[in-house]
A and B are shown apart, each in its own frame.
Chain A
Amino acid sequence: MRYPAGIYNINYAQDMSIIRTKAHWVIFALGMIALFTFPLYATSFIHIINLVGIYVISAVGLMLLTGYCGQISLGQAAFMMVGAYTGAWMTRAGFPFWGTLILSGLITGVVGLIFGLPAVRVKGFYLAMSTLAAQFIIPWCIVEIRPDFTGGIHSLRVNPMTIFGHKLISQIEMFYVIITITCILIIFAKNLVRTQIGRAWVAIRDNDLAAEVLGINIFLYKLIAFFVCTFFAGISGCLWAHWMRNVGPTHFEFVTSIWFLGMIILGGMGSITGAVVGVIVVRILDYVVSILLTPLVEEAFPLLSNQIVAGLPAFVFGLIILLFIIFEPRGVNHRWEIFKASYRIWPFSY
Chain B
Amino acid sequence: MTASIFQFAVSGILVGSLYSLVSLAIVLVYKATHVFNFATGSMIVFTSFLIWTMIGLGLPLWLAILVSIAFSYIFGLLLEWLVLRPLIGQPLIGSLMATLALTELLRGLIIMIFSAHEFHLGYHIFPPIVKKIGPVFISPALFGGFVLCTICLIALILFFRYSPKGLSMRATADGHYIAQSVGIRVSTVFSVTWGIAGVICAMAGLALMDRIGFSIVQTPSVVIFCFAAVLMGGLDSVPGAILGGIIVGLVSDLASGLISSQVGMLMPYIVLMVVILVRPEGIWGLKRIERI
List chain A positions with a Cβ less than 8 A from chain B.
66, 72, 74, 117-118, 121-126, 128-130, 132-133, 136-137, 140, 144, 208-209, 212, 218, 255, 258, 261-262, 265, 269, 304, 306-308, 310-319, 321-322, 325-326, 329
The residues of B that contact A208 with a CB separation of less than 8 Å are: 292
Specify the main secondary structure of chain B where it touches its partner.
helix
In Å, the complex CA distance between A209 and B36 comes to 23
Contact of B108 among A72, A128, A317 (CB under 8 A): A317
Of residues 15 through 74 on chain B, the ones whose CB sits less than 8 Å from some CB of chain A are: 36
Contact of B273 among A125, A130, A212 (CB under 8 A): A130
Nearest CB on A from B199, distance (A): 23
The residues of A that contact B227 with a CB separation of less than 8 Å are: 129, 132
Closest partner residue, chain B, to A138 (CB atom)? B269
Produce 1/0 per residue, B258-286, CB < 8 A to A: 00001001100110110011001000000
Asked if residues A129 and B105 are in contact (CB atoms below 8 Å), the reply is no
Asked if residues A262 and B93 are in contact (CB atoms below 8 Å), the reply is no
Closest partner residue, chain B, to A205 (CB atom)? B91
Which of B110-118, B144-152, B245-253 is the interface stretch?
Answer: B110-118
Q: Which 9 pairs, one residue from A and one from B, show the smallest C-beta to C-beta distance?
A: A315-B108, A318-B105, A311-B111, A314-B108, A318-B104, A311-B112, A307-B115, A321-B101, A311-B108
In Å, the complex CA distance between A262 and B93 comes to 10
Asked if residues A307 and B262 are in contact (CB atoms below 8 Å), the reply is no
Asked if residues B262 and A322 are in contact (CB atoms below 8 Å), the reply is no
Nearest CB on A from B218, distance (A): 13
The residues of B that contact A269 with a CB separation of less than 8 Å are: 93
Asked if residues B266 and A322 are in contact (CB atoms below 8 Å), the reply is no
Asked if residues B273 and A307 are in contact (CB atoms below 8 Å), the reply is no
In Å, the complex CA distance between A123 and B83 comes to 25
In Å, the complex CA distance between A321 and B105 comes to 9
Asked if residues A315 and B115 are in contact (CB atoms below 8 Å), the reply is no
Of residues 106 through 149 on chain B, the ones whose CB sits less than 8 Å from some CB of chain A are: 106-116
Nearest CB on A from B90, distance (A): 7
Nearest CB on A from B248, distance (A): 13
Contact-residue size bin, chain B (C-beta under 8 Å from the other chain) = 35 or more
In Å, the complex CA distance between A321 and B104 comes to 10
Asked if residues A307 and B116 are in contact (CB atoms below 8 Å), the reply is yes
Produce 1/0 per residue, B76-120, CB < 8 A to A: 000000010011001011101110111111111111111110000
Nearest CB on B from A177, distance (A): 32
Query: In the complex, which of the residues A130, A208, A209, A322 has the most CB atoms of chain B within 10 Å of its own CB atom?
Result: A322
In Å, the complex CA distance between A140 and B227 comes to 18
Query: In the complex, which of the residues B113, B227, B272 has the most CB atoms of chain A within 10 Å of its own CB atom?
Result: B272
Asked if residues B96 and A128 are in contact (CB atoms below 8 Å), the reply is yes
Nearest CB on A from B291, distance (A): 7
The residues of A that contact B87 with a CB separation of less than 8 Å are: 325-326
The residues of A that contact B109 with a CB separation of less than 8 Å are: 311, 315
In Å, the complex CA distance between A144 and B107 comes to 28
> B231 at the A/B interface (Cβ < 8 Å)?
yes
Closest partner residue, chain A, to B107 (CB atom)? A314
Other 7 A-B pairs with CB < 8 A, given A311-B110, A318-B101, A319-B101: A129-B272, A140-B262, A307-B115, A314-B105, A325-B90, A325-B97, A325-B101
Closest partner residue, chain B, to A66 (CB atom)? B93
> B224 at the A/B interface (Cβ < 8 Å)?
yes
The residues of B that contact A258 with a CB separation of less than 8 Å are: 100-101, 103-104
Closest partner residue, chain B, to A269 (CB atom)? B93
In Å, the complex CA distance between A209 and B292 comes to 7
Contact of A123 among B36, B262, B265, B292 (CB under 8 A): B292
Closest partner residue, chain B, to A323 (CB atom)? B101
Between A and B, 18 residue pairs with Cβ closer than 8 Å are A66-B93, A117-B277, A118-B280, A129-B227, A130-B273, A132-B272, A218-B292, A310-B115, A311-B107, A311-B110, A317-B101, A317-B104, A318-B103, A318-B108, A321-B104, A325-B87, A325-B94, A325-B97
Contact of A129 among B83, B90, B231, B290 (CB under 8 A): B231
The residues of A that contact B36 with a CB separation of less than 8 Å are: 125
Asked if residues A118 and B276 are in contact (CB atoms below 8 Å), the reply is yes
Asked if residues B96 and A72 are in contact (CB atoms below 8 Å), the reply is yes
The residues of B that contact A315 with a CB separation of less than 8 Å are: 104-105, 107-109, 111-112
Asked if residues B93 and A121 are in contact (CB atoms below 8 Å), the reply is no
Asked if residues B262 and A126 are in contact (CB atoms below 8 Å), the reply is no
Given A130-B276, A258-B104, A315-B109, answer yes or no on A124-B116 (Cβ-Cβ < 8 Å): no
Asked if residues B97 and A319 are in contact (CB atoms below 8 Å), the reply is no
Asked if residues B111 and A318 are in contact (CB atoms below 8 Å), the reply is no
Closest partner residue, chain B, to A124 (CB atom)? B92
The residues of A that contact B290 with a CB separation of less than 8 Å are: 209
In Å, the complex CA distance between A124 and B292 comes to 11
In Å, the complex CA distance between A123 and B235 comes to 14
Closest partner residue, chain A, to B104 (CB atom)? A318
Closest partner residue, chain A, to B105 (CB atom)? A318
Given A311-B110, A329-B90, answer yes or no on A318-B272 (Cβ-Cβ < 8 Å): no
Asked if residues A265 and B231 are in contact (CB atoms below 8 Å), the reply is no
In Å, the complex CA distance between A306 and B115 comes to 8
Nearest CB on B from A30, distance (A): 35
Closest partner residue, chain B, to A128 (CB atom)? B96
